[in-house]
Every structure is written in C-alpha cells, then in structure tokens.
A and B are shown apart, each in its own frame.
Chain A
Amino acid sequence: MEHTYYNPEDLKKFGTIGEWEKNLADKFFAYYGDVFKEGDLTAREKSLIALAVAHTVQCPYCIDAYTQDSLEKGATEKAMMEAIHVAAAIRGGSSLVHGVMMMNKAKKLSM
C-alpha cells in the first residue's frame, strides 16, 4: 500500500476499472459522457454542479478534475466559489433541518 490513500496519478487510471468488469464500466462511462453533454443545462452549468457535488462528497479526484473543467468551460472563480457555497448551504441546512426532528422528539419526551 502507498503511504497515502490518495495519489493524483490514480485519477488518470480511472478508465482501468474496466479491467475487472468491462461491461459495467463501459456502460458507466458511456452514461457519464452523456450526462455531461450540453442539454437544457449548459456544459459549464453541469461542470459547476459537479464541482459542488465534488465538495459535498469530498472526493479529491473530482475536485481536481472539476476545478480544471470549470476553468476550461470559462467559469469565473467567483462562480466556482458560489457553487461550493451552494453545497455548503445544503450540507449545513440538512443538519439544521433535522433539528426539527430533534425538537419533535425532545418535546414528546419532555413534560
């Protein structure tokens, strides 16, 4: 095992997951390619969504890839940071909204 779990070189080897299960990998990559094509959302909007999700799942490979991709798609640095704030707001909000559950339970248990 390497000294760290994450190695930037491994990102370039993403395609090799097909070596052990080609059929599913082919389907995944074909699907992946289609997802990022221009649709009702522009390719840049999709890249910014990917960047926000990358920060939510805290995937270093995805952060590396979609920081570059967002720049290539012409996103401003401000837009990239705004996307991450969206991720942060949903993450923070998802904790806080569960506060209602906590309050419901506490109120039920309390006299």
Chain B
Amino acid sequence: MIKSLHARQHQLAQQERQVDFLSNGIFKSGKLTSFQEKIAALGFRPLKPAKIEIFQVNVGYMCNQVCKHCHVDAGPDRKEIMTRETMDQCLAVLEKTKIKTLDLTGGAPEMNPHFRYLVSEARKRGVQEIIVRCNLTIIRANPKYYDLPEFFRENNVRVVSSLPFYNAGKTDRQRGEGVFKDSIEALQQLNAAGYGQEGTGLFLDLVYNPTGAFLPGDQAQLERDFKKELSDQFGVCFNSLFTITNIPISRFLDFLIESGNYVEYMEKLVNAFNPAAVAGVMCRNTVSIDWQGNLYDCDFNQMLGLKTDEHAGQHIRAFDVAKLEQRDIAINNHCFACTAGAGSSCQGATA
C-alpha cells in the first residue's frame, strides 16, 4: 500500500504549495487562460451561489484505502477525525436550516467512531436525504463493519460508491490490490440488503472516475456498460452511475506531474471548458464542512484550504444561510475540472 503525501512529507501535502502550483506556471505565463478570466467573460465573476441544498460533511481523512488519485490524500495514516461535539453543531444547523441533503464523505466516513451517531441523529431530526460516500471495501474490512448495509437500510441512507471500472485491472491499479474483489463482494451484500433493487426505495449509485489523465466519457453510455457488465459477470445491480472528472489537486496532481501529463491534462480541461456547465457547478448549492467545523465551497476547496468568504462566516458555529447564499465562491484553476465537457460534480455530469 502506498503512503499518503502527508506521511511522505511531500511538498504537495502542503495546501499552499498546491494553490501556488495551480495559480502559476502555464496559467501565469499566459499559455492557458485562467478560470477566473474564463468565467468573468461569461459574467460569472464573482461566482455566486444559488440556494444551499447540500450540506457536505467530511468527517475525517482516515481511510482503509490509499487510492492513487485521491484528492483528500486520505489513508490509514491520516488521524484527522471529526469530534462528536462538532457533529452536534452540524446537526443543530441541519435542524435549524432544514437543508435538504446531508452528504457524508471522508476518508472512509464509517471509520469515524461517531459515524453511526451522526447518521441516526440526522435521521431522527428529519433530514430529508442522507448520502454516505462509501468506498465499498470498508464493509469487508473488519467484522465491525459487516452490518453496515443493514445500518444504511435502517436509516434510509443513499449509498454512493466509487468503482472506477468493471474489471479488476483498472480498478486495482487506481485503488489498490484486491479492491475490486472486495468491492464486488460489498456490492453483492448491499444488493442482498435491498440496495439498488427496483421497488425497494434503497438507492445505490456508483461513481466512475477515469483511471488516468483523461476525461470521463458519456455518463449514460458508461452507465449502460457498467449495468450490463456488473450484472452479467457478478449479478450486481445499482441505480445510477455518476461520472466525475479527476480534479488536479493532491495525489492526482502529484500523478499528473510525475507522469509528465500535467500540462496536457490542464490543456484538455481548458479546451473542453463548457460555458453551459458553469451554472451547474456544485459549489453553487453546496457547503462543505471539514473535521474541525470549518466551512468551504466544496470538498476540493477544503483540501486546498480555501475557506468560504470571510464575510459569510468560516465555521459551523457561525453558519448563516442568508450570508452564505450571498458569498463570493473561492475559485482557482482546479475548477476547470468541474466545467469540462459534460460538467462534473459529486452528483455526476451537470450539463
């Protein structure tokens, strides 16, 4: 298993170094137009939010996997974990604001010892939709997680899981040896609990992201391929497939630089800029909260340390919907990944 950039004390483990890298080089030299200039030309500068509909909580960076492209730089060596006190602050905000969706991510969110508390409390307090971004293998990682599918079902959680391909070769190269096999077993277990099955109301969605320095293909076509292959080969079913473009930050940025793909990948993102995708970027309807309760425009900005506009409040203690819906969203050149081609978000293609 590879180590996180953090554990290797890699320079890209420092948020400022990443922001510096993304802001300079080919963008500073004028070889490529910056994201700021690109959206300013369309009248989206400053980029303003719409209604906040998604409250995305990153409950910690600890994970049982170390995926090569991880934008969180998550892994077993990451110890940042949200406390129960901070979770209570999040729950109070959800109760007060009636934001529709609680979206839980990590790391492997289930590894946070208070994960089940947060989910069941959110359910009790009437949150309409609870999403857990489950890496699948966690369900098979330790007997204490074997009952997760039942726990998800009891709390009517929508499960969204990463599976970059329907074969072991591509999946394991990105996510680690043996991940595909464990993921299939976990999917079968989720299916057995009723997930992804027609008529149960239990949703199981998969996330496809490219296994390298290229863009995702057509979401509908890939969904058809995944459905056919997973059903034919493993008897696995699921609801929707979301395509997500790899964001050039953290470990994926490291891969791009090390493999000599950085410039071409950024060119590809810039050339594929789709003006129609700007209005649908997820930062316009999302607020992201980190393990310490700090607020960000999205999980990617969280990893770059780009907090919400200071006038709008930067901590869960100061959560104010009216102010947040007036804020200026922080942008940089990584944002091109969300506006390339058919657009990209945690809910898949946007345009």
Enumerate chain A interface residues (CB-CB to B < 8 A): 12, 38, 42-44, 68, 71-74, 76-77
Contact = CB atoms under 8 A, between A and B. Distances in A.
A56 B165 CA distance: 29
Interface of B: 165, 167, 169-170, 210, 212, 214-218, 221-222, 225, 267
Main SS at interface, chain B = loop
Contacts of A73: 217-218, 221
A72 B221 contact: no
B221 A74 contact: yes
The 6 closest A-B pairs by CB, nearest first: A73-B217, A72-B217, A71-B214, A72-B214, A74-B222, A74-B217
Contacts of B212: 71
Contacts of A74: 165, 217, 221-222, 225
6 contacts: A44-B217, A71-B214, A72-B216, A73-B217, A76-B170, A77-B169
Contacts of A71: 210, 212, 214
Contacts of A77: 169-170
Contacts of B217: 43-44, 72-74
B167 A72 contact: no
A76 B167 CA distance: 9
Contacts of A42: 221
Residue from B165, B218, B222 with most neighbouring chain A CB atoms (10 Å): B218
A45 to B, nearest CB: 11
Residue from B210, B216, B221 with most neighbouring chain A CB atoms (10 Å): B221
A27 to B, nearest CB: 23
A10 B222 CA distance: 31
Contact of A72 (B170, B210, B225): B210
A73 B221 CA distance: 8
Residue from B167, B214, B216, B222 with most neighbouring chain A CB atoms (10 Å): B214
A3 B212 CA distance: 31
A40 to B, nearest CB: 15
B218 A43 contact: yes
A29 to B, nearest CB: 15
